[in-house]
Amino acid sequence: SIHHTLFRKSSGTDMNSSSFTIARCIVLSLIITECSSFAHSPMKMSTSGLENSSDRRSFVARGGNAVLSSILATTLVPNPVKAATLPPTESKAPYFELPNSRQEGTTSLSSLVESGKWTVLYFYPGAFTQGCTMEARGFQRDIDQYRSLNTQIVGVSVDSEKKNAKFCNSEELDFYMLTDEGGKVSHLYGSSLSIPGFGTFSNRQTYIIDDKGNLRWIFTDVESRVAKHSAEVLEKLSELKTT
C-alpha cells in the first residue's frame, strides 16, 4: 500500500521544480484515491459504534495509515528519475502512434498533420485529478478559439483507453486523449516522470506542432499556471501563426 512506500526528500539535483510539484501531486492523488476507497468501504456498525474490538482496531489502524500517508506526501516526495531531454524546436516533432480514447484504433502524428491543422499536444499525469481536470476544462472552454485558429487539441497520458474515454465523456470534451502505456512517447518528448514505487507518468507539459509536423513551442512550467494555461497557449499560437 501507499504508506509502505519509502519516501525521502529530493536532492534537487535531478529534477526541476515543476517535476517536483508533479510528483507530489501524483502521490497525493493516489493517496486521496486510497482514502476515498476506505471512506466508502462497507463497515458494520452498531448503536454503540463499531460492532466489535476487531472492527475498532481495523478502523483506527486504517485511519492512522491514511493520515500518515497524507502527512508524508505533503512534506516528502519520492525522488523521481531525471527527466528525459526535451526535443529541439523548429525541427520535426517526434513521431508517435497511440490508441485514442474514442476507441477507434490509433492516432499518429502523420494523421494529425494530414488533417491540415496545427496541434496542441498536451501531456498530463492522470485523468480525474484536480489539476488535469482544470487543464482539460480550460482547453474545452476555449475550444472555439482553437478552431478559429485551425488547431486541434490532443491529450496524452499513461492512463488506459477506458479511463481516458470515461474522463472525456464525464467532462464532455470535444477533443480526445491518447494512451501512452509505459511512457515511451512521453520520454521521446522529454515529458516522462518516473516515481519509485508508483511507476512512470507524463509530466504536465504542452507542445505546439504546426501543420507541417514541426515542433514550434514547448511549455514546461505548466503546473504552476494551470488555471491560465489555455489562454497562454492561445496567445503563443496566435503569435506563431502570424510570424
Per residue in 96-126, pLDDT (tens digit) is: 999 999 988 999 999 999 999 999 999 999 9
| pLDDT confidence bin for 199, thresholds 50/70/90 | confident
Give the DSSP H or E segment for 111.
Answer: helix 109-114
Write the single-letter amino acid at 100.
N
Rounded to an integer, what is the distance from CA 226 to the centroid of its chain?
A: 12
* Cβ–Cβ < 8 Å for 205, 190: yes
Question: What average pLDDT does range 43-56 have in this prediction?
Answer: 47
* Cβ–Cβ < 8 Å for 204, 186: no
In sequence order, the 6+-apart residues with CB closer than 8 A to the CB of 211 are 113, 116, 117, 118, 150
Dist. CA 214–CA 38, nearest whole Å: 47
Question: What average pLDDT does range 185-209 have in this prediction?
Answer: 91
Dist. CA 175–CA 14, nearest whole Å: 34
Pairing status of strand 214-219 against strand 49-50? unpaired
Angle (deg, nearest 10), helices 130-141 and 17-40: 110
Angle (deg, nearest 10), helices 17-40 and 53-75: 170
Task: Tell me what pLDDT residue 118 has.
Answer: 98
Q: What is the pTM of this model?
A: 0.73
* Cβ–Cβ < 8 Å for 186, 104: no
Residue listed under C-alpha cell 498533420:
113
